[in-house]
Amino acid sequence: MRLGVIGTGYVGLVAGAGFADFGNDVVCIDIDHSRIDRLRQGEIPIHEPGLPELVAANVAAGRLRFSTEFADATQDSDVILLCVGTPPAADGRADLSQVYAAAEAVGRCLSSDFTVLVNKSTVPVGTADRVRDIVASVTDKPFAVVSNPEFLKEGSALDDFLRPDRVIVGVGPASGPAGRSRDLATSEQVDDRARKLLRQLYSAVVRKNDRLLFMDARSSELTKYASNAYLAMRISFMNDVARLCEQIGADVELVRRGMGMDQRIGPSFLFPGVGYGGSCFPKDTRALLHIAEQVGLSLPLVEATESINVRQKRRLLDKLLAHFALSEDQPDALAGKVIAVWGLAFKPETDDVREAPALALIEKLVALGASVRAYDPVASVTARQSLQASLGDKMTRVTITSGAYDALSGADALCLCTEWRQLRQPDFRKIARLLRGKLLLDGRNIWEPALVRSFGLTYEGIGRR
Ligand X SMILES: NC(=O)c1ccc[n+]([C@@H]2O[C@H](COP(=O)([O-])OP(=O)(O)OC[C@H]3O[C@@H](n4cnc5c(N)ncnc54)[C@H](O)[C@@H]3O)[C@@H](O)[C@H]2O)c1
Catalytically active residues, by annotation? 280
Q: Which stretch binds ligand X (CB under 6 A): 148-156, 210-218, 338-346, 357-365?
A: 148-156
Q: Does 101 bind ligand X (CB under 6 A)?
A: yes
* Residue 280 interacting with ligand X (CB under 6 A): yes
φ, ψ of residue 5 in degrees (nearest 5): -125, 125
Phi-psi region of 416 (alpha: psi -120 to 50; beta: other; left: phi over 0): beta
Query: In a 3-state reduction of DSSP, which class is residue 361?
Result: helix
Residue 152 neighbours by CB under 8 Å, 6+ apart = 10, 11, 14, 160, 161, 164
One symbol per residue from 24 to 53: x for binding ligand X (CB under 6 A), - otherwise; what is it?
-----xxxx--x------------------
Told to check if 85 binds ligand X by CB under 6 A, we report: yes
Shortest distance, position 68 Cβ to ligand X, whole Å: 9
Find the shortest distance in angstroms from Cβ 331 to ligand X.
Answer: 37
Q: Output 96 or 413, the one with its CB closest to ligand X.
A: 96
CA 351 – CA 7 distance, rounded (Å)? 18
Nearest distance in Å: CB 85, ligand X: 4
Neighbours of 264 (CB within 10 A): 5
The CA distance from 383 to 377, in Å, is 11
Query: Nearer to ligand X by C-beta: 220 or 445?
Result: 220
Q: Does 121 bind ligand X (CB under 6 A)?
A: yes
Stretch that binds ligand X, among 77-85, 229-237, 319-327, 361-369 (CB under 6 A): 77-85
- Asked if 380 and 402 touch (Cβ cutoff 8 Å), the reply is yes
Site for ligand X contains 279 (CB under 6 A): yes
- Assess 382 for contact with ligand X (CB under 6 A): no
* Peptide bond between residue 87 and the one before it cis (omega within 30 degrees of 0): no
Question: In terms of Cα–Cα distance, which of 238, 194, 237 is closest to 216?
Answer: 194
Instruction: State yes or no: residue 73 binds ligand X (CB under 6 A).
Output: no
List the one residue out of 465, 445, 442 whose CA is nearest residue 457: 442
Binding test (CB under 6 A) with ligand X, winner from 21, 129, 154, 306: 154
Among 48, 78, 129, 150, binds ligand X (CB under 6 A): 150
Work out whether strand 143-147 and strand 167-171 pair parallel, antiparallel, or are unpaired. Answer: antiparallel
Check binding of 8 to ligand X (CB under 6 A).
Answer: yes
Contacts with ligand X by CB under 6 A lie at 6-12, 29-32, 35, 83-86, 98, 101-102, 121-122, 150, 152, 154, 279-280
